[in-house]
Amino acid sequence: MKKSAESAWPDEVHALLKSAGVRQVAIVPDAGHARLIKLCEKDKSMRVVRLTTEEEGVALLAGAWLGGEKGVLLMQSSGVGNCVNMLTLSIACQFPLLMLVTMRGDHGEFNPAQIPMGNATQAVFEAMGVIVKRADSADEVTEMVSSTMRLAFNTYRPVALLIGQRVSGAKDFRKLTRSVPQ
Amino acid sequence: MSKQIGKRLRRREVVKELLQNRGDSLVVSGLGAPTWDTTNAGDHELNFPLWGAMGGAAMVGLGLALAQPKKNVLVITGDGEMLMGLGALATIAVQAPRNLSIVVLDNERYGETGQQETHTGHGVDLAGMAKAAGIAHTLMVRTPAELSRLKKRMYAGEGAVFAQVKIDSEKLPLVLPPRDGSLLKNRFRAALLGPDAAHQ
């Protein structure tokens, strides 16, 4: 069965990461990254490292690069705020750092608690000196991951790709809900 | 062998002892006094001394240990620094790297900012937390004999190892490594990976 663009990008991105020699995959899960995480977990050439908070991933991947390995940090936009001070490490030491961030608080958000961090994600990254790129449709994600990855590893700096909520679709809370018992 | 002041081990002697005959071990030190202690034991190209990134030392060690499974990786940090990144104990326990040791020099103080008390002086047991997280070998070290046991354990390659070393809260002159993070990173990678590291 031919995959639609919506569902094909995680497979393409996994293949891209693999061919670039990415070995350490640091994750705080997000629905938008679910398929990519599964593919990385199945891949014996990759080590998936479950984090308790996103800033652990910034430090982990600095260590990976010291040891000669490339990595990627997968997270949701809510986690970007957790990384702020740790990004000092990437910036002060010029560590390459590839971050793929699925957006919440973006296109069609339902949950008010997602809005403040989602709305601030790009500004927070940029305030710390991180280069930020965006992909807002499924058919551009792979190409943007490729160029973002090259920026990070070729120019030794933290770079983030924000994958818009339009790509994975906003979570439909109403479908998952039953009414509050009276 | 380290001497004690009263009941407490002395931090510079502890670190010197642990790093003596380190061979090709890779060392990450947490910001502040542990970085000065590590540098006091000898500036070394296979040291990566942190000047910031508080709460991140153990995780830098994990990334390095996973990338270099045949090398011993030693993280030397402080109680305040470790307290800021306790989640790392869970993350490291799940990865279970046999080549990683984390040594927390516990003076029960935030020494760089005016000797304010940390949680460990009020009963928080970091070694107990590491054990509960599932880290393979956890030790509380208070005496020279316990320090010798830690040293054997650290270089045995059967980790992960986590040790909480109770030390005196003495203030000592700073011993500074280079400050340029890029230099520290590049000299470490060149020493570990060879000249090709600059072309990765």
For residue range B162-179, list pLDDT tens digits in order.
Answer: 999 999 999 999 999 999
Q: Are B66 and A88 inside 8 Å of each other by CB?
A: no
Residues 6 or more apart from B184 whose CB is under 8 A from it? Answer: A93, B47, B48, B49, B177, B178
**Terminal alpha carbon distance of chain A:** 46
pLDDT at A105: 87
Q: Does the pLDDT value for residue B184 go beyond 90?
A: yes
Predicted confidence at residue B3, as pLDDT, reads: 52
Angle at CA A78, nearest 5°, toward A77 and A82? 110
SS3 A74: strand
The string of pLDDT tens digits covering residues B44-100 is 999 999 999 999 999 999 999 999 999 999 999 999 999 999 999 999 999 999 999
CA distances to A12, A65, B170 from A21, in Å = 14, 12, 46
Looking at residue A2, its pLDDT comes to 46
Exposure of B183 in the CB half-sphere (CA atoms within 13 A): 6
Q: How confident is the model at residue A42 (pLDDT cuts 50, 70, 90)?
A: very high
With a pLDDT cut of 70, the percent of chain B lying above it is 97
Predicted pLDDT of residue A4: 56
Contacts of A55 in chain B (CB under 8 A): 55-56, 85
DSSP string computed for B62-79: HHHHHH-TTS-EEEEEEH
Given a cut of 70, whether residue B11 has pLDDT beyond it is: yes
Say if the Cβ atoms of A60 and B65 lie within 8 Å.
no
For chain B, the average pLDDT equals 95
Higher-pLDDT residue of A166, A54: A54
The domain spans of chain B are 4-199
Tell me, yes or no, whether A174 lies in a domain. no
> Average model confidence (pLDDT) for chain A?
92
- Burial readout B35-55 (b: 16 or more C-beta within 10 A, e: otherwise): bbbbbbbeebebbbbbbebbb
Q: Do B67 and A58 touch (CB under 8 A)?
A: no
Asked if residues B92 and B66 have their Cβ atoms less than 8 Å apart, the reply is no
Average pLDDT estimate for A107-131? 93
Sign of CA dihedral B21, B153, B64, B172: negative
Long-range own/partner contacts, residues B139-143 (CB < 8 A, 24 or more apart): B139/B163, B139/B164, B140/B164, B140/B166, B141/B9, B141/B165, B141/B166, B142/B7, B142/B8, B142/B9, B142/B166, B143/B4, B143/B9
What per-residue confidence (pLDDT) applies to A166? 87
Of A69-83, A158-172, B66-80, give the lowest mean pLDDT range.
A158-172
User: Among A168-177, B27-36, B155-164, which stretch is predicted with the lowest mean pLDDT?
Assistant: A168-177
* Contact residues on chain B for A53, CB-CB shorter than 8 A: 87
User: Which of the four pLDDT bands, split at 50, 70 and 90, describes residue A109?
Assistant: confident
- Which tokens is A21 given? 């020699």
d(C-alpha B54, C-alpha B23), whole Å: 27
Residue A3 has pLDDT above 90, yes or no: no
A47 vs B66: CB contact, 8 Å cut-off? Answer: yes
The pLDDT > 90 percentage for chain A reads: 78
Residues A78-105 have a mean pLDDT of 96
Does some domain include residue A181?
A: no
B63, B65, B91: residue with CB nearest A62: B63
CATH number, domain containing residue A85 = 3.40.50.970
Chain B: residue whose CA lies nearest to A157: B182
What's the mean pLDDT in A102-128?
92
How many other CB atoms are found less than 10 A from the CB of residue A60?
30
Distance of CA A167 to the CA centre of its chain: 13
Looking at residue B143, the DSSP 8-state letter turns out to be S
Q: What is the pTM of this model?
A: 0.95
Give the residue on A whose Cα is nearest the Cα of B186.
A66
Distance from CA of A59 to the nearest CA of B (A): 5
**B63 to A85: CB separation less than 8 angstroms, yes or no:** no
Determine the pLDDT at residue B168: 94
Gap from B186 CA to chain A (nearest CA, Å): 8
Nearest 5 degrees, angle CA B165-CA B171-CA B175?
Answer: 90
Q: What residue of A is the nearest CA neighbor of B187? A: A66
Q: Is residue A139 part of a domain?
A: yes
Query: Is A177 inside a domain boundary?
Result: no
Residue of B59, B64, B185 to mutate for A, most A C-beta atoms under 10 A: B59
pLDDT of amino acid B5: 53
Tell me, what's the pLDDT at A6?
Answer: 56
pLDDT tier for residue B141 given thresholds of 50, 70 and 90:
very high
Close Cβ partners of A180 (under 8 Å, ≥ 6 residues apart): none
Quote the number of domains for chain A: 1
Write down the pLDDT at residue A1.
39
Residue in the structure block whose two tokens are 């790297």: B97
For A161, the domain range is 12-105+118-166
pLDDT of residue A180: 78
CA distance B139 to B128: 9
Q: CB-based contacts of B69: which residues, under 8 Å, 6+ apart?
A: B97, B98, B99
Residue B157 Cα, gap to closest chain A Cα (Å): 17
Exposure of A67 in the CB half-sphere (CA atoms within 13 A): 30
HSE-up of B186 (CA within 13 Å, CB side)? 13
Chain A nearest-CA distance from B41, in A, is 21
Task: Please indicate whether, in this complex, the C-beta atoms of B55 and A55 are within 8 angstroms of each other.
Answer: yes
Q: Is the pLDDT of residue B144 over 90?
A: yes
Looking at the domain that runs over B4-199, which CATH code has it been given?
3.40.50.970
The answer to whether position A5 is within a domain reads no
- Contact check, Cβ <8 Å, A85/B85: no
Q: Which of A27, A28, A61, A66 would you mutate first to test chain B, the one with the most B CBs within 10 A?
A: A66
